[in-house]
A and B are shown apart, each in its own frame.
Chain A
């Protein structure tokens, strides 16, 4: 059976197919923004043609099929192409999403007060108060006034609202009122997208829960349409869809962040090639640099996420991002400092050297001037680069800095590397790790150009550049564990914790998890369930997630062990713990995933000749400002095979990327065509 992963990106829809021999085939087709499902079908047709099949026949040969339209949801939110949402809120609390706990624009210095105020996804006149109140104990203080629901529905209909979010206080504990409101809405507003906060994120802290719910409502209809179109088209073709469409549509917000979430799974598979599971996965795209730190093969998750200016508190893979990539623009600030990004030239007009009208210097322009990337073989020659335009653009920052063009290019290159390196240090030290103990796994078109220099800056000994670096995210999907996270709040200090209730909530989540896995075609025996608990010292505000919570009924003795694990984890994370303090339990979490086998990768032939047989040409590269431009060997990646060893300084040109190897690193081609760079 074939395994197929499709990543619906902003510009291209990528498709990777893994055949039974472990051979990976790569296809791409333009994304169709108005009908992403059609773009997806197009790339599938292209793929089927390659395998000399009609589409239905091809689909019947596909054993695993994953498609992500994550950018669809994210872009809809970032560009404001969202549904008109109506909100029903507990009377007296309709402004929670606009007061938003006082968060100002999180990316602006507090001294910059010249920023437009936050524009809520639901304007105040569409936020309708509903009389009802549930207490922090779950008791009902005020019964639900159903007349208020009907009045709100009337208003929503008049205003042609396209989606409804229902947000009541303490609904994570007692969802009765939200459930009733949902029923009435679904009955009275047939065809309108309706969701409630206990469905989207049943955990305490109303701002975070309401905001996530409203985001889910805002992108709900567009997601629903896409998923419906997709499942319709796939049904016509006789193929199934692994992800349950209905389930995804109900929690539209869960699509956000699903794209970057895939890469770390690919990194873990690649780490196995060199026998390590301590990895930093980085993906260098045109506009952003995504980092994920994997320790002991565990992919970290977080619920502190912002998408644009919206707080999304779903638990997502903890991928930190900064605006630094091949298209990032270099500029000089009022302090006379050279800065790179976050503004990006994007794909259009792109860096100056694309010759598409861009005239500001981008990172790719610097890469070109330094000789790292080829003018005639960028994306396999698809985009011819113009060095004179790159130089001209760089001159605009070189002159004010009093530098010549090559020095300025080197400064841009190093500045963007430092930005990336700083972020990597921040990500690792935030979690208490030393980045030097990790191997760097690099993806994205611009990734292999910068990765060895990044590793050099951070003293990282090993870099893995995969053969499919340019389709890193789709490669990750092939390796990803399918499944979902569940959570429930308990909120009680140790001595008041109701173990019976804890055990019941875990059982409930497990039943739900198994059911969802069944819906997507995973047999019960293949379901993997992992429990964890959020805990803190009584009085603290932030919780620590303790993993390794045993399955089955938890006894007081096991609870004690979990508490000990919490003390240890707290110390790991924050340099201290307080064993004498009482601990408090907050959320129970369950991860339900499908057992999956390690992806088999095809072996490539072993080298029978020296690597020099793959020498393509030599070109002038600026490795060091002191030494100036130096003739450097350039290898043809397509002619390199297992066992070839190349010492830096050298360059390897692959069709979709360029691997830059500085003097301090040596590169070996491994048995499945990864480039393993080792510090000398």
Chain B
């Protein structure tokens, strides 16, 4: 294990410093931004790449936004060849040219020069509160093409020599709603890049360019070796996974499928999405970068947990990801991509998790609660200002893993819990909505020997003006995500609208007009289970009944545990009969 390149001490110091720089950058954005998604929910990613685009440090962020950041850095390098200077900041959001995910995710890049050499790139990409287009928020269906979804920004310099290009920024901000807010967030992002440059420069001063570069090479090699070791232990073979989203928002009620064929050969993995559906008219299309990013994220869940914050270029090397152009997982210009981080981003992860859980049953993972979000836009009568609001509050929790129940409350698989939920008191203060209920919903967790986390009952009343609602970031009303090793999927999510005493069903991937006094109810499905439900410890089943996570009926039907409704004790005899009859414990 000994390395000839650098001494263990320096290697470890440099490696950890690069991670802590990223954490520090996030801290800067956290504390200074104003967009609910960024500041409270952490819809933000930060990373460091080397001067050629190799991934150096990616400890925090949303997979879909940045695990494939190297593609984007390579694009910037290419486009600005010979024209990159200290103090430049480049802004990109174009999925087709700049390898971004969808238009609201604006990435700011800064080249880091040291004694005249371009040695690093840093990027901060975050979901803006607006990016133009027909409706606020970015998750609205039925745009004509990508241009109707919002402003497409190819790589352009917004700062030169640390001076803002004011006319360029003016043009951009003139094309978004809430330009003042977006400007705050952009400043926050740019400030974080500056912090990174200062810290990386100090690191280079301390250890010297050669040593730091030797560390990078060593870091890549070690990560690669560890990932290859894990893959090598998986039996060679081909494993399949699939998942669908409710529909594409244009052709309604027709699920769209992603299918993966995952081949393990020696110490390599190839993930081939050739059998996936074709590119759609609706906004669920993913560009290759999205597919690339989220597939990596799914694979990382199965790797050595010690690798967590250490993933880098080396983790990418043993993996090949194939997605045919023109498919829903490698959409071509000018297809719409608005919903892609959630739909199909989450489904791509689900399909890979499904395949990997067969390849590595000892580390089986069930799918998590589906994203059940929306964007609401209206006017707040208290200030007469326009607002847009989204939240992850209603999303069900994590799927089970082999050995543990799902983590309650965690946000969906695409975020891996990186996003936070809000506070009712903050929402009510900020937006003209009043919360009536926000708690776990009974019988919404996927059954299993290890059960999924619960879904959530979320209910709010509109006390503001008439408003619009786009349910684009929702899913799971018609499709369910897979459990593993015999664990069951969670039930479907459901949403309702109550207007003047009358309650009607509302659906994912639609646009709705809301009136003052309308009440939205959302009951999300939770995480899926791992292992046969009839093998779950009856005492745990009883505890779930007492805690009202599941009903007595569910205990009997799914878990084959009979519980006396009066005493809430387990009827051992009946339970044993039921379990024998169902063939449990074989």
Chain A residues within CB distance 8 Å of chain B: 92-96, 98-104, 108-118, 123-125, 135-136, 141, 169-170, 204-208, 332-339, 400-403, 411, 414-415, 418-419, 422, 425-426, 429-430, 491, 537-542, 570, 573-576, 578, 581
Does B295 sit at the interface, judged by CB under 8 A?
no
Query: Which B residues touch A332, using CB under 8 A?
Result: 1
A539 to B39, CA, bound (A): 10
Query: Does A99 contact B20, Cβ atoms closer than 8 Å?
Result: no
Given A101-B409, A206-B423, A403-B2: A429 and B195 within 8 A (CB)? Answer: yes
A-B contact pairs, 25 of them (CB 8 A): A93-B424, A98-B440, A101-B420, A101-B421, A101-B423, A110-B418, A111-B308, A111-B311, A115-B407, A116-B404, A116-B405, A117-B404, A124-B549, A136-B425, A169-B424, A206-B424, A335-B307, A401-B8, A411-B8, A418-B12, A422-B13, A539-B184, A540-B184, A541-B36, A542-B30
Query: Which B residues touch A115, using CB under 8 A?
Result: 404, 407
Query: Which B residues touch A116, using CB under 8 A?
Result: 404-405
* Residue among B32, B311, B428, B435 facing the most chain A CB atoms (10 A cut-off): B32
A334 to B424, CA, bound (A): 43
Query: Does B423 contact A337, Cβ atoms closer than 8 Å?
Result: no
Does B306 sit at the interface, judged by CB under 8 A?
yes
Residue of A nearest to B1 (CB): A336
**B429-445 with Cβ < 8 A to chain A:** 429, 434-440
Query: Which B residues touch A336, using CB under 8 A?
Result: 1, 3, 222
Query: Which A residues touch B199, using CB under 8 A?
Result: 429
Query: Does B401 contact A114, Cβ atoms closer than 8 Å?
Result: yes
Query: Does B24 contact A422, Cβ atoms closer than 8 Å?
Result: no
Query: Which B residues touch A169, using CB under 8 A?
Result: 424-425
The stretch of B95-103, B169-177, B296-304, B477-485 in contact with A is: B296-304
CB distance from A111 to the nearest CB of B (A): 4
A592 to B422, CA, bound (A): 32
Does B11 sit at the interface, judged by CB under 8 A?
yes
Given A95-B440, A400-B1, A491-B429: A335 and B34 within 8 A (CB)? Answer: no
Query: Does B311 contact A205, Cβ atoms closer than 8 Å?
Result: no
Query: Does B410 contact A111, Cβ atoms closer than 8 Å?
Result: no
Residue of A nearest to B305 (CB): A112
CB distance from A87 to the nearest CB of B (A): 13
* Residue among B2, B59, B425 facing the most chain A CB atoms (10 A cut-off): B425
* Residue among A338, A422, A542 facing the most chain B CB atoms (10 A cut-off): A542
Does B416 sit at the interface, judged by CB under 8 A?
yes
Query: Which A residues touch B398, using CB under 8 A?
Result: 113, 117
Does B17 sit at the interface, judged by CB under 8 A?
yes
Query: Does A205 contact B423, Cβ atoms closer than 8 Å?
Result: yes
Query: Which B residues touch A426, using CB under 8 A?
Result: 20, 23-24
Q: CB-CB contacts of B261-301 with A at 8 A, as 1s and 0s? A: 00000000000000000000000000000000000010011
Query: Does A422 contact B16, Cβ atoms closer than 8 Å?
Result: yes
Residue of B nearest to A89 (CB): B439
Query: Does B184 contact A113, Cβ atoms closer than 8 Å?
Result: no
CB distance from B111 to the nearest CB of A (A): 19
Residue of B nearest to A410 (CB): B9
Which residue of A102, A339, A414, A573 contacts B420 across the interface (Cβ within 8 Å)?
A: A102
A8 to B301, CA, bound (A): 43
Query: Which A residues touch B1, using CB under 8 A?
Result: 332, 336, 400-402
A259 to B7, CA, bound (A): 39
Residue of A nearest to B548 (CB): A124
Chain B residues within CB distance 8 Å of chain A: 1-3, 7-9, 11-13, 15-17, 20, 23-24, 27-28, 30-36, 39-40, 59, 180-181, 184, 187-188, 191, 194-195, 199, 222-223, 226, 229, 297, 300-301, 303-311, 363, 365, 392, 398, 401, 403-411, 416-426, 428-429, 434-440, 453, 456, 459, 546-549
Query: Which B residues touch A575, using CB under 8 A?
Result: 28, 191, 194-195
A363 to B28, CA, bound (A): 33
Query: Which A residues touch B304, using CB under 8 A?
Result: 334
A113 to B8, CA, bound (A): 29
Given A576-B32, A581-B184: A337 and B8 within 8 A (CB)? Answer: yes
CB distance from A228 to the nearest CB of B (A): 34
Query: Which A residues touch B33, using CB under 8 A?
Result: 540-541
Given A338-B8, A426-B20: A136 and B407 within 8 A (CB)? Answer: no
Query: Does A411 contact B9, Cβ atoms closer than 8 Å?
Result: yes
Query: Does A335 contact B306, Cβ atoms closer than 8 Å?
Result: yes
Which residue of A415, A422, A542 contacts B39 across the interface (Cβ within 8 Å)?
A: A542
Query: Does A576 contact B191, Cβ atoms closer than 8 Å?
Result: yes
CB distance from A34 to the nearest CB of B (A): 30
CB distance from B582 to the nearest CB of A (A): 27
Query: Which A residues touch B13, using CB under 8 A?
Result: 415, 418, 422
Query: Does B456 contact A99, Cβ atoms closer than 8 Å?
Result: yes
Residue of A nearest to B392 (CB): A102
Which residue of A93, A117, A540 contacts B32 across the interface (Cβ within 8 Å)?
A: A540
A169 to B435, CA, bound (A): 10
Query: Does A102 contact B410, Cβ atoms closer than 8 Å?
Result: yes
A414 to B16, CA, bound (A): 14
Query: Does A125 contact B191, Cβ atoms closer than 8 Å?
Result: no
CB distance from A208 to the nearest CB of B (A): 8
CB distance from B125 to the nearest CB of A (A): 16
CB distance from A635 to the nearest CB of B (A): 29
Query: Which A residues touch B191, using CB under 8 A?
Result: 574-576
CB distance from A625 to the nearest CB of B (A): 9
Query: Does B32 contact A574, Cβ atoms closer than 8 Å?
Result: yes
A185 to B423, CA, bound (A): 27
Query: Which A residues touch B20, using CB under 8 A?
Result: 422, 425-426
A401 to B2, CA, bound (A): 5
Residue of A nearest to B199 (CB): A429
Given A99-B408, A414-B9: A113 and B424 within 8 A (CB)? Answer: no
CB distance from A135 to the nearest CB of B (A): 7
Query: Does B309 contact A109, Cβ atoms closer than 8 Å?
Result: yes
Residue of A nearest to B402 (CB): A114
* Further 14 A-B residue pairs, CB within 8 A, beyond A102-B419, A109-B305, A339-B12: A95-B439, A104-B407, A111-B300, A117-B406, A117-B408, A124-B547, A336-B1, A411-B8, A419-B16, A539-B180, A540-B184, A541-B40, A570-B32, A575-B191
Which residue of A108, A114, A581 contacts B363 across the interface (Cβ within 8 Å)?
A: A114
Which residue of A98, A400, A576 contacts B409 across the interface (Cβ within 8 Å)?
A: A98
Which residue of B9, B223, B403, B405 contacts A418 across the interface (Cβ within 8 Å)?
A: B9
Given A114-B363, A411-B9, A574-B28: A93 and B409 within 8 A (CB)? Answer: no
A426 to B16, CA, bound (A): 12
Query: Which B residues touch A411, using CB under 8 A?
Result: 7-9
Which residue of A109, A400, A539 contacts B308 across the interface (Cβ within 8 Å)?
A: A109
CB distance from A455 to the nearest CB of B (A): 15
Query: Does B409 contact A100, Cβ atoms closer than 8 Å?
Result: yes
Query: Does A337 contact B32, Cβ atoms closer than 8 Å?
Result: no
CB distance from B66 to the nearest CB of A (A): 13
Closest 3 CB pairs of A and B: A109-B308, A402-B2, A539-B34
Query: Which B residues touch A170, using CB under 8 A?
Result: 425, 428
Query: Which A residues touch B409, using CB under 8 A?
Result: 98-103, 118
Query: Which B residues touch A135, using CB under 8 A?
Result: 428, 434
Query: Does B184 contact A578, Cβ atoms closer than 8 Å?
Result: yes
CB distance from B95 to the nearest CB of A (A): 24
A108 to B419, CA, bound (A): 14
A538 to B310, CA, bound (A): 37
A447 to B478, CA, bound (A): 61
Which residue of B12, B34, B423, B438 contacts A537 across the interface (Cβ within 8 Å)?
A: B34
Given A118-B408, A336-B222: A415 and B32 within 8 A (CB)? Answer: no
Query: Does A539 contact B181, Cβ atoms closer than 8 Å?
Result: yes
Query: Which A residues touch B434, using CB under 8 A?
Result: 135, 141
Which residue of B9, B187, B438 contacts A576 across the interface (Cβ within 8 Å)?
A: B187
Query: Which B residues touch A574, using CB under 8 A?
Result: 28, 31-32, 188, 191
Query: Does B34 contact A541, Cβ atoms closer than 8 Å?
Result: yes
Query: Does B365 contact A136, Cβ atoms closer than 8 Å?
Result: no
Query: Which A residues touch B7, using CB under 8 A?
Result: 411
Query: Does A334 contact B306, Cβ atoms closer than 8 Å?
Result: yes
